Amino acid sequence: MLNAVTAKSSLEDILEELEQAEGLGALQTASERLRDHFDVDHIVYHWVDSAGDQYGCGTYSDEWRDHYLKQNYLRVDPVIIGCFQRFHPVDWKRLDWSSKQARAFQQEAIEYGVGNQGFSVPIRGPNGQFALFTISHNCDDDTWATFTETHRRDLILIAHYFNEKALEFEPGRIPENHQPLSPREIDAMTLLAMGYSRAQVAQTLSISEHTLRVYIESARFKLGAMNTTHAVARAMSRGLIVV
């Protein structure tokens, strides 16, 4: 097993290569490297651009991908349905698998090697863009809970790295103008990224929670983020904050 320093360096190398990627093929390579880095069964990134065109990369087998498309499982997949209704990352166990169709789909997915556990990060970009970053594995509930708790922040960050890069490859895309964050906004985002609660951040900065909310909303607007988690991930992926 890699030690903490080596593991961190390896992840940084992967993200640096992703940052410098010049084509969609690099997203596929990154997904394979991340799968090996986290020692899980699968990493998948799927997105629909502003024109409605769909793309995907990841480590599911060709057999599962072809079967999924042939059966038109987009209609019944609880991960797609559930994440389209959410803004926050979700463990698959929290999704609705109660219908007969959903349970049959889940059993087939497991038989094709998708894994019995999963964690997905829904992402909404400009002009209706929607994406989903997913990591899946076959293990018991306790092992998975420990894994997701340990790596949750990294997985959210990676999801937004993938999406920022995918947006760059979108045909006819107009680059976004990035507004700089103020020193106080950087302080607030940094402490939130470190896992501080809003109350702890306000206390550390010696400001009221109302003032903190103003800083957070201002940073979110400048970053074009849908929520605070998205804002923190974007600030980290752009190098505006370092944790």
Q: Find the CATH number of the domain harbouring 228.
A: 1.10.10.10
Residue 68: partners with Cβ closer than 8 Å, 6 or more residues away: 77
32, 59 Cβ separation under 8 angstroms = yes
Record the tokens describing residue 32, joined without a space.
């394979």
**Could you give the number of structural domains in the chain?**
2
Residues 152 and 223 in one domain: no
Residue 74 lies in a domain: yes
Based on the fold, state whether residues 114 and 226 are members of the same structural domain: no
Measured CA distances, 206 to 143, 183, 243 (Å): 39, 14, 20
Q: Which among 112, 140, 168 is the end of a domain?
A: 168
Q: What is the pLDDT of residue 172?
A: 60
* Helical spans, DSSP H, in the chain: 4-19, 24-38, 62-70, 78-84, 100-111, 141-168, 183-193, 198-205, 209-223, 228-237
What pTM did the predictor assign? 0.70
Q: Is residue 178 part of a domain?
A: no
DSSP output for 106-144: HHHHHHTT--SEEEEEEEE-GGG-EEEEEEEE---HHHH
CA distances from 49 to 12, 92, 221, 233 (A): 27, 24, 21, 20
Question: What one-letter code names the amino acid at 44?
Answer: V
Specify whether 188 is located in the same domain as 154: no
**Residues 56, 46: Cα–Cα separation, whole Å:** 4
What is the reported pLDDT for 52?
Answer: 62
User: What CATH number is associated with residue 122?
Assistant: 3.30.450.80
Which pLDDT value is given to residue 6? 46
pLDDT for res 173: 54
Residue 76 CA to residue 60 CA, distance in Å, equals: 18
Judge if 48 and 160 occupy the same domain: yes
Same domain for 95 and 202, yes or no, is no
- Quote the domain boundaries for residue 155: 4-168
In this prediction, the residues of the chain whose per-residue pLDDT falls under 70 are 1-9, 49-53, 126-128, 171-178, 242-243
